Amino acid sequence: MKNASHRLLALLLCLLTTIPSPLFTQIATAQETKEEKKLRERQEKLKKKEEGRKDKEAQVRSKESRKYNTLREFAEDQYASEPDFRDAVDTAYRDLQSQHAMQAYQINTQRKTELVMAETEDATPKIRRVLYDNPWIQDYVNHVGQRLVPDDSDKPYAFKITYHPIPSAYTLSTGTVLVSTGMISLLDSEAQLAYLLAHELGHVYKEHWKVKVMMPLAEEEYNKRQERKRIMWSAIFGAAGAVIGGAIGGKQGIGNGAVIGLLAGYAVGSLYNQKIGIDWDEAQENEADDFALKATIDKGYDVKEVPKLFTAMDQAARGDQRVELGFLGRRSRLRERKEYCEKLLSGPLQGRYQDLLRGGKMIGTTADYSVIMAELKRDNGIEAYRFDMFEMSRRNLQQAVSIRSDDAVSSFYYGRILKLVGRTKEEHDQAQHFLAKAISLDTRQAIPEVQLQRALVLMEQTDPISQAQALQSLKDYVIAFQKKKVDDARHDSTLPPNIDVLYDHMRLLGDKAWKAPLPDYGPIKVVSADPPPPPAERPRTTRRQ
C-alpha cells in the first residue's frame, strides 16, 4: 500500500511537469483578482524595464571601455614612435607635476581652512584643501593605503586626510592620495576604506594624470587619420566601381559604376568618419573601480562591503545635494557602479571571494577602526555643523557619542545640533541631556560654552528649579570663559596647535584630567579693548624775559 502511494505521488509529479508553462501559469493565477493581476503585470513590466536599463548601461560601459583602450593604445604607440609628440606630452606633464607639487606644498603647510572665492559669475565659494590635524588617524589611513600598493610598483605613495565635510577623494601626480573627512565619515568598515583608497591609488598606478595630458593631443591626430581613411576608401571604391561599370556597360556603365562605388566608399568610409569622443573622467573612474575591487580582494578585504558604501553615499546625497560636489558626481553613476560591482562579485570574483570566506581570513572591520574613526566622525560632524550641513553633522555626532560615550566634545556638539534643529520636546530634552553630560565629562574645563548652551535650554522652562539652574549655568559660563582666557594667555604659543587632539589620545590611554603645566610668565598684562586716553595736556608756563 505504501509503495502504491509513492507510485501515485510520482505519477502526479510527472504529470505536473508535463503541463505547458503558460497553462501552469494560467492555473496558478486563475484565482487572481483584477487588482492583483494588474499589480502583477505592472511589476513584471517594471522588472523588464529595469533589466533593459541595466543591459543598456552595461553596453555603454563596455563600448566606452573599448573606445578608451583603443585611443590609449594609439596614444602610447604615438608616444613611443614620434619624438615631437613625446616631447609635447613630456613638457605638458612636467608642467602638471609642477602645479601638483605646489598644491602639495600648500596642503602640507596650510594650517587653517580658508574660504577662497572662485572666479565665476556667481562667486561660488571653494575650499582650499588643508590636512586634518590628527596624526593618529592620518597614520592609520596611510597604513591601510600602503598595504594596498601593488608589489610591482616602484613609485612611492602617500595617503592623507583633508579636513572638509564635503565627501571628496582626489589624487596628485606626485603619488599623493587625498581623502576628505567628509568622505571617510560615510564609511562603516575598514574594507570600505580600503576600497576607497585603492580606487584613488588606481588613478596614480594607472598613470591617469599622464594619460589625461596625452589623450587630447592623441585624439586630435586620431580623428585626422580617421578622416583621411574615409576619403581614401571613398576614392578607392569610386575608382573600382567605374572600372567594373565600364567593363560591363561601356561609357554609361562607367558613370553608373562610379556612383555605386562612391556610395559604397562612403558607406565604408563612414566607419572612420565618427570622432572617437570619450568622457575621460568616466572611463578612468571605471578603470579605477576595476583596479580597486581586485586590489582589495587580493589583500583579503570583504568586497561585499563595497555595494554598501555606494548605498551609503547615495543616501547621503539624497539628504544633502552638496554631498555630490566631491567624489560622488551624478547619483545615477553611483547606482551604475554599485550594480557593476555586484555583477563582478556574482561572476568573475565569486570564486576568489568564496575561497577567502572559507579560509576565515576575510577583513571586514575591527574594534580599532570604530574607536579611531569616532574621533574623525566627531570632528567632521563639528565642521559640518559650521557649514550648516545639518544631516551629516547630526549623523556623525550621533555615531561619535555612541562609540565614545566619555567624550565631552562629542556630547557638547551633539547637544548643540539637537538643540538647533530639534522640533519636539523629546529632542530638546535629549539636547539638554547631552549638554549636561558634556559638563560632567569636561574634566579639563576646556569647553566654557557648554554652560551657556545649557543655560539657554533651561531658560525655556518656567519652573523655579530650571530657572535657578539656568542662572547658575550663566555664572559658571562667565567664570569658565574667564579661566580659559587666562590659560590661553599663559600658554600663548608654547603648546602644539593640535593640543586638543593630544588630550583626546591621553583620554583613550586612561588619563582624563592631565593638563600641560602653565609656563611662568609672571603677572599677565591685560590689554584693554578700549582706545587709550589722549595724553594729558601740559600746563603752560610763562618764560621770564
Question: Sign (positive/negative) of CA torsion 527, 528, 534, 539?
Answer: negative
pLDDT, one tens digit for every residue, the chain (545 residues): 555 555 555 555 555 455 555 544 554 555 678 777 777 778 877 777 767 766 776 676 677 777 777 778 888 888 888 888 889 889 989 999 999 999 899 888 876 544 443 444 444 445 556 899 899 999 999 999 999 999 999 899 999 999 989 888 889 998 999 999 999 999 999 999 999 999 999 999 998 888 888 877 777 666 666 555 555 545 554 455 445 555 555 555 545 544 454 444 444 444 444 444 445 577 888 889 899 999 999 999 999 999 998 888 888 877 777 766 555 456 667 888 888 888 888 888 888 888 888 888 788 887 789 888 999 999 999 999 999 999 999 999 999 999 988 899 999 999 999 999 999 989 989 998 999 899 889 887 788 888 888 888 888 888 889 889 889 988 988 988 888 888 777 666 677 777 777 887 887 788 877 878 766 655 555 454 455 555 555 444 444 44
Distance (Å, rounded) from C-alpha 400 to C-alpha 410? 6
Predicted local confidence at residue 270, as pLDDT: 43
> CA distances (Å), 425 to each of 214, 410, 428, 429, 432, in order?
61, 21, 5, 6, 10
pLDDT tens digits, one per residue of 425-478: 899 899 989 998 998 898 877 888 888 888 888 888 888 898 898 899 889 889
Largest CA distance in the chain: 154
The β-bridge relationship of strands 125-127 and 158-162 is: unpaired
Q: What is the pLDDT of residue 124?
A: 45
For the whole model, what pTM was predicted?
0.72
Residue 30 to residue 42: CA distance in whole angstroms: 18
Q: Is 305 helix (H, G, I), strand (E, B) or coil?
A: helix
Measured CA to CA, the distance from residue 94 to residue 87 in angstroms comes to 11
Which grid cell sits at 41?
503585470
CA–centroid distance for 448 within its chain: 35
CB-based contact 245:258 (threshold 8 Å): yes
- CA distances in angstroms from 383 to 111, 155, 235, 388, 413, listed in the order given: 15, 34, 66, 9, 10
